Structure 1
Amino acid sequence: MPVGVNSSHTASYYAASSAPQATHPTLQGAHSADVCVVGGGFSGLNTAIELAERGLRVVLLEAHKLGWGASGRNGGQLIRGVGHGLEQFKKVIGDDGVREMQLMGLEAVEIVRRRIAQYAISCDLTWGYCDLANKASQVEGFAEELEHLQGLGYSHELRLVAAADMHSVVGSDRYAGGLVDMGSGHLHPLNLVLGEARAAQSLGVELFEHSPVTRIDYGPRVTVHTAQGSVSAGHLVLACNAYINGLNPELSGKVLPAGSYIIATEPLSESQARGLLPQNMAVCDQRVAVDYYRLSADRRLLFGGACHYSGRDPKDIAAYMRPKMLAVFPQLAEVKIDYQWGGMIGIGANRLPQIGRLKQQPNVFHAQAYAGHGLNATHLAGKLLAEAISGQASRGFELFDAVPHMTFPGGQHLRSPLLALGMLWHRLKSLA
C-alpha cells in the first residue's frame, strides 16, 4: 500500500454500523477513459454516476477508501439550499441568477431523494428538519425564510414553532423558536456513499481505492499519475474538497480545511430518545460555532459542531464536545459516549460551493468548498458537472462558474491560523 494512505475509515459510528464495504483495487498500469474523476466522496461518485448515465467511460481514483473524507463521516443532515447569502452575487449573476441558484438549492435535495429511490440505497433516510433560533430576533428571520420558500414554490410542509411549543421538537429550554421543514431530513452518510459506489460500478465506472494522485500532466488529454499507474482522459474532475492539499495549487488556495467534530452516545431508551427529539428530526442552531444533532436509527444521539480553523484537532474530542451536548441536554449527564470522531470540511471565502472549470485548462473541472452543507450540494455538483462535460446546455453550471472565488492569504501553512485569528476577532466583536 502506498505510504501515507489510510487503509480504513476513521473510527466513527458510521464505520461501525455501515453496510458491508466492497474492496476496490489499487490502480495499476495505464488506463484510458473519457473522464477521470479524482475523489471518491459524494462529489466524485455522483459526477461519475451522472456521466456514466450519459454514456461516458469514467475512471475514479480515491486516495483512501471510498467515502473516507467528509462524505463518510459528516452529520448526515440533508438540508435544503446551497451557499450562504446568495444575494451577494447579484452583481455577477443578476436577480434571475440568484433565484435560479435558490431553486437549485431545493432541487439538490430532490436529486438525493431520487438517487436513493432509483438505486434502492438503504441509508436510514428520515424526513424532518428544524432550524433552531438561539434568540427571538432569529424567529423573525425564520418567518421571512418561510415566506421566501413559499414564493419559490417549495412544495414541502413548512411551519414556524413558537418558543412555548419548542418541546414538541426538542427537549431543551435553550431555544427561542424554530422553523420546521419536512422536505429536509437526515440519513446514514457512509451507507449512502457505499450505495452510490455500487450504483456507479453497476453503470460501468471503474473504481480504484488507495490510489493517491502523484502528478497531473495537463493538456488536450490529461494524464493522471499514481504510484503504480496512470489514467489518460479527455476531461478531469477534481473532487477532493478539503483534502486537495497541494494537488492543484489554484484550487487548494481557494478552499480552507476546517475541523468539525461529532460524538455519538450509547443507545438510548425509547423514552430517552423521544424526550430529546420527539419527532426524530435533525436540528441545527444559528450560532457561528454551530450545534447540530439528530438521532441514529438505533437511538443514539449524534451531536456535532465546533468548527475549528486552527488546523489542530482537540486532543480528546469527547471531552471537548460533551460539555456542548450537556449545555443543550443536561439530562444526558450520566449517558456514555461510545464514539468520537472528526474530519475536515472545505470552506470558501464567500461560502458558495465552488463548481466550475479551470480557465487555463478548460477540460479540467472541479467541485469543492461546501462549507459544511455538502450532502445535497455535492449531488447537485455532480449533475451540473456531468451536464457541462457531456456538452449538455447547463445554465446552472454557468452560474456557479461565473462567480469568482478569493484565494486565501498566507499560503498552505498560514491561511488556517490567519483565518482562526479573524474568526476570534469576529466572535469577540459580537460579544462587545
Structure 2
Amino acid sequence: MRHAHLHPHHSVWHDEPEPDYPTLTDSVAVDVCVIGLGGSGLTCIHELLELGVRVAGIDATTVGGGAAGRNGGFLLAGLAAFYHDAVTAIGREQAAAIYRLTIAEIERMAAAMPGVVRQVGSLRIAASAEEIADCAAQLQAMRADDLPVEPYRGPEGEGLLLPTDGAFQPLQRCRLLAEQARRGGALLFTHTPALAIDDTIVRCPQGQIHARHVIVAVDGGLEQLLPELRGVVRTTRLQMLATAPDPERTIPRPVYTRWGYDYWQQLPDGRIALGGCRDRFAADEWEAPAEPSAPVQAALEQILQERIGSRTPIERRWAARVAFHVGSVLPIARQVHSHVWAIGAYNGTGNVIGALCGRAAARAAVRGDVTLMRLLDGTARG
C-alpha cells in the first residue's frame, strides 16, 4: 500500500525509502567537514569537490532530514523579505545583486535537475487592502531595478506574479545531490550528530573527523550547535499538511498570501501542500520540536477548506525547525572562529539563498574568497 513504510509525520516529499548511508564509527581526516546534509550543505559539498578538496559530510538524521526535506517546495528569488523591504533594510545595490544571483541559482537548479524543478513562477496574493498597496510598492521597486515582475489578477486573487520563481521536490533534490557527491568522492555519514567542534576536530558519538576547515550548514538549531550565535539566531517551527489528490482544484504555481505567512502549491499528482499560520501562534512555535501541533493544524485546515476550497482528505501533517536571523533580513554566512564557518538562519525561505550560502562558504574556506559571503551576510572577514 502506498506510503506504508512512512512515519506518520513524514512530509509529502517522503514517497521513497531513505537511502542507505553509513554512520561514522571511526576517525577520518579530510580537508573540509560539512555538518548538515540539506540543500545548503550538499551544495557546499559539490562546490568543495569542484575546488578539488577532500570532503566529509555528516548529518544528525538523514539526507534532507531537516527543513531541507520538510519545506513547502518553493524556489523563491531574493531574500525572505519582500524586495522593497530588503531595499529599505540593506540598500538597493545589495538587494538587487542578491536577487539576480538567486534568479541565476534557480536557473542552475533547473538545468541540473529538470525532472525535479518546475519553473512555473510564483504568486504573491494580497489578503487585504493594505497588502494590495504593499504589492504595488514591491512592483514599483522591482521595476525600478529591472527585475522580472508582473501585476496579477486571477482566480487566486490580486497581487504579483514573480515569473522566475518555481517549485520543486526538495527531498528528491537532496537525495540526488548526495548520491552525486558520493560518486564524486565525498564521504557522507548519516545518523551522525556533531557533539562538539574542537577547533578542527568534529566529535561524533562513535568517531571523529579531523579537518582543516569545518562548515556548519544547518538551519534550525544553528545556535545550539554554535553557542557563539545565541542571541543572533533563534529557531522556530514551521508546519504543513498535504491532501490526497484533488481533481477539483487547479493551482498552476506556488502561492504566498497574507504577507507570506500562508503558502501552498499543488503537486503534479494533484495533492495540495499547505503551510503557514506560525504568526498566529508565534509564542508557542519558538524553540518547539519538529512535530505538528493541533492549533496550527486546525488553522491550516480552515485555510484549506475556506480559502482554497478543498475538502479532500488530509494525508500528511508535518513540521520543520528553521532559524531566523534576529533583527536582519540577511542570512548567516560567516566565519564564527578560526577554521569554522556557519551558514543558515534563512528566515524561513532557504531553498535558494541557502544554496548560494553553501557556495560562498566553500569559496571562503578553501580559497579565502569572501566576496560572495560579504554580499550575503556583510560580516565576513578577509
Shift of 1:354: 1.0
Shift of 1:233: 0.8
Distance change in 2, residues 1:182/1:362 (3 Å): same
Aligned residue for 1:223? 201
User: Partner of 2:3 in structure 1?
Assistant: none
Q: Deviations along 1:356-383, whole A, 9 cap, x unmatched?
A: 111xx23211111111111111111011
Deviations 1:174-228, CA, capped at 9 Å, x for gaps:
x4x110111001111111111111222232211100001122211xxx0001111
Pairing partner for 1:108 from 96, 102, 113: 102
Deviations 1:244-277 (A, max 9, x none): 36322112442222111111111111xx122xx2
- 1:347 maps to what in 2? 324
1:159 corresponds in structure 2 to 150
State which of 54, 57, 77 in structure 2 corresponds to 1:57: 54
Task: Work out the CA distance in 2 between the residues paired with 1:152 and 1:384.
Answer: 24
User: What are the equivalent positions in structure 2 for 1:31-430 lying under 5 Å apart?
Assistant: 31-84=28-81, 85-87=85-87, 89-90=89-90, 95=91, 98-118=92-112, 120=113, 122-154=115-147, 156=148, 158-161=149-152, 165-167=153-155, 170=156, 175=157, 177-218=158-199, 222-244=200-222, 246-269=224-247, 272-274=248-250, 277=251, 280-287=252-259, 290-307=261-278, 308-311=282-285, 312=288, 313-315=292-294, 318-329=297-308, 331-333=309-311, 335-349=312-326, 350-358=328-336, 361-391=337-367, 393-403=369-379
Structure 2 CA distance for partners of 1:104 and 1:231, relative to 1, 3 Å: same
> Which region of structure 1 is more displaced relative to structure 2, 190-199 or 136-145?
136-145
What's the TM-score once normalised by structure 1's chain length? 0.78
Asked whether the equivalents of residues 123 and 160 of structure 2 are also in contact (C-alpha less than 8 Å), the reply is: yes
Higher helix share: 1
Which secondary structure state, in structure 1, belongs to the residue aligned with residue 98 of structure 2? helix
Distance in 2 (alpha carbons) for counterparts of 1:69 and 1:150: 36
Indicate conservation of the 8 Å contact 1:83/1:353, yes or no.
no
RMSD: 2.4
Cα distance in 2 for partners of 1:113, 1:150 equals: 21
2:266–2:272 contact (8 Å) kept in structure 1? yes
* Corresponding position of 1:419: none
Segments of structure 1 that go 5 or more residues without pairing to the other structure are 1-6, 405-432
- Distance in 1 (CA, whole Å) between partners of 2:283 and 2:174 is 26
State the distance in 1 between where 2:214 and 2:353 align.
20
Cα 1:125/1:117, change in 2 over 3 Å: same
How many residue pairs are counted as aligned between the two chains? Answer: 363
- Compared with structure 1, are the counterparts of its residues 125 and 323 closer, same or farther at alpha carbon in structure 2 (3 Å cutoff)? same
Rounded Cα–Cα distance in structure 1 between residues aligned with 2:122 and 2:218: 28
Equivalence for 2:25: 28
How far 1:80 sits from its partner (Å)? 1.1
Matched residue of 1:344: which SS?
Answer: strand
Percent identity, aligned pairs only, is 25
Aligned residue type for 2:319: G
Distance in 2 between residues matched to 1:252 and 1:194, nearest whole Å: 31
Letter paired with 2:86: L
TM-score, structure 2 normalization = 0.87
Change (3 A) 1:53 1:353: same
Instruction: Give the drift of 1:317.
Output: 5.8
Runs of 5+ consecutive residues of structure 2 not aligned to the other structure = 1-5
